[in-house]
Amino acid sequence: MGMHTPPAVPIGLQVINAAQLVSDALDVALTAAGGSLGMWQILVAASGKDQRHGAHAAFSEAMGVGATALSDEAHRTEVAGLVVRKPDPQHSHEPRVELTDAGRALFHRLLLAVVAFDARLRTGLAAEEIDVLSSMLTRLRSNIASTEPT
């Protein structure tokens, strides 16, 4: 009688579990540095370091959070004196978010934590493996974007 091979864990669940673990660990690292993952996302957007996303909706989609969650985090970051909202002449219905001096200081402190965290993630991985992982994640995103749910 042949051995029965248990079904493999669906790749989507593996990606979700890994992403949640990485997200939680990054949030812990950022919290230890005086911020949070949500705050980091707002500071990156406000710093102009992420030029891929100009509009609020495009940025929230790229970050994988809803526009409401992003707005809530932006509000908390603004109340903390880390960012200010100013009218954006190119997008009159969406304010531009800019870093304050305190926001720039926190951005640089959190950047150090992000760089250290990235180095931790890369431990034991060859450059070729990182390239393959990046390519595979791009392909998974493309597969999801190009198909309709069943």
- Model confidence pLDDT, tens digit, residues 112-140: 999 999 999 999 999 999 999 999 999 99
Mean pLDDT in residue range 17-25: 97
Q: Which fold has domain 25-117?
A: Arc Repressor Mutant, subunit A (1.10.10)
Q: Output the six-digit token pair for 121.
A: 């993630």
pLDDT, greater one: 16 or 1: 16
Residue 123 backbone zone (phi > 0: left; psi -120 to 50: alpha; other: beta) = beta
Tens digits of per-residue pLDDT, 24-47?
999 999 999 999 999 999 999 888
Q: Where are the beta strands (DSSP E) in 45-129?
A: 83-86, 96-99
pLDDT at residue 18 above 70?
A: yes
**Which tokens in the block code for residue 142?**
């493309």
Pull the structure tokens for residue 23: 């997200």
pLDDT, tens digit, 9 for 90 and up, residues 93-113: 777 788 999 999 999 999 999
